[in-house]
Amino acid sequence: MKENPMIINQYEKFGICKEVYAFGRKIEEKLKDRFLSFDQTAELNQLKVIAAMQKHRVSAECFNATSGYGYNDLGRDTLEKVYAECFRGEDALVRPQITCGTHALALALMSNLRPGDELLSPVGKPYDTLEEVIGIRPSKGSLAEYGITYRQVDLLPEGNFDYEGIQKAINEKTKIVTIQRSKGYAVRPTLSVSKIGELISFIKKIKPGIICMVDNCYGEFVEEKEPLEAGADMIVGSLIKNPGGGLAPIGGYIAGKKECVEHAAYRLTSPGLGKEVGASLGVIQSFYQGLFLAPSVVNSALKGAVFAANIYEALGFDVFPKGGESRHDIIQAVTFHEKAPMIAFCQGIQAAAPVDSYVTPEPWAMPGYDSDVIMAAGAFVQGSSIELSADGPVKLPYSVYFQGGLTWYHAKFGILMSLQKLYEQNLVNKDLMC
């Protein structure tokens, strides 16, 4: 393709120099085939979403706001059928009353476990915020306080499942197995849906009654299949990540076996009430529209992640996953081993944002972290990480976690801007850019 001088000119107005632009273009050229395969996954997932909406007869009435108890909320009930259909579950709970991903996961666990049961994580330490839910770090209202025990089997050093250890850990008390699909902020590979499937079939052979729950955060629509299709009983996620498509202003979901979802509903509202109550207020239309856009938004975020990986890998930085690796979530880590480039990276992402672009992110002490943290986010929805964002603890090895991008063009611009900041401060080896 010939370069469009108007685009180059616009980038220049944003302060992106010719060298940075040309380097980005060279990297993008090499990613054509990769991008085409992402497009194909997005196409399939888009059709899946539309088919689910058609099958369940989504209509304009579904967008009406309900208030109070929310009895017979057609929009809410239909949306839950659409989610169940898309993710191939028997049922789903999709609610604005589920405040975030951690809440959705806590709800799924607390509603399906009883005192005396045991929870097992066969994939190592779960996401940070779950430590307090489980009671690994003592906390008010944790599962531990209710007499629910926890066991963990770490992944083997190469990232494989410790099948022997898992077999030993499963006992008469084991009720739920929790499998985190995305690596989150851990240094281990993200699990593909097919790897999750292998793990689940191994577990079910040992004890068929175990409920296999997958923390699906950041994984939705990245692949052609979702974990319920690989044997999971329950998947859980946040609507301000992938499935909300950037439009949902709040919310979480649980999808899977009817009984699991039912338990969650009775816990979310009350025994006796379950799914029957819970007004959708005015947000339900954005849930539908967000789900409709989600395959294409996730596609943009994936392109951004792979573009960033290849840019920074070519410049000699450690990237995880590697530029050429297959993708199972939308997170990209870049390790700088030094403070200055990490901060410059985040400042570049911020400078490219549609919202709050004029602020400069700085490292600061955040509750719950043992070091300063830097966060770049210029999002329409507070904390939304399907929107272009980057953050990380400001300590060795100075890794920044980069994710999101509602459009590929914005993700690309953000990454070019990050590189521009490094370039200006002489934090990159310019010889590698030629």
Question: Which spans of this chain sit near ligand PLP (rule: CB under 6 A)?
Answer: 100-102, 105, 127, 129, 180, 182, 184, 215, 217-218, 238
Long-range CB pairs of 319-323, under 8 A, 24+ apart, other chains included:
320/187, 320/399, 321/189, 321/190
To ligand PLP, the closest distance from the beta carbon of 239 in angstroms equals: 9
CA 202, 208, 211, 216: dihedral to nearest 10 degrees? Answer: 30
For residue 107 the two structure tokens come to 């709800």
- Any alpha helices (H) in 157-232, and if so which ranges? 163-169, 193-206
CB of 135 to ligand PLP, least distance (A): 16
Nearer of residues 75 and 244 to ligand PLP, judged by Cβ: 244
Owner of token pair 């066991």: 151
Quote the tokens at residue 126: 């779960």
- Whose Cβ is closer to ligand PLP: residue 63's or residue 185's? 185
Cα–Cα distance for residue pair 225/352, rounded to 1 Å: 33
Q: How far is the CB of 215 from ligand PLP (least distance, A)?
A: 5
CB nearer to ligand PLP: pick between 16 and 298? 298
Nearer to ligand PLP, 238 or 347 (CB): 238
Q: How far is the CB of 174 from ligand PLP (least distance, A)?
A: 21
Q: CA 53 to CA 37: how far, in whole Å? A: 25
* Smallest distance, ligand PLP to C-beta of residue 329, A: 8
**Which is closer to ligand PLP, CB of 182 or CB of 280?**
182
Q: Which residues contact 329 (CB under 8 A, 6 or more apart)?
A: 181, 182, 183, 190, 218, 219, 222
Residue placing its CB nearer to ligand PLP in the complex, 344 or 381: 381
CB of 252 to ligand PLP, least distance (A): 7
What element of type H or E holds 254? strand 252-256
Residue nearest to ligand PLP (CB): 101
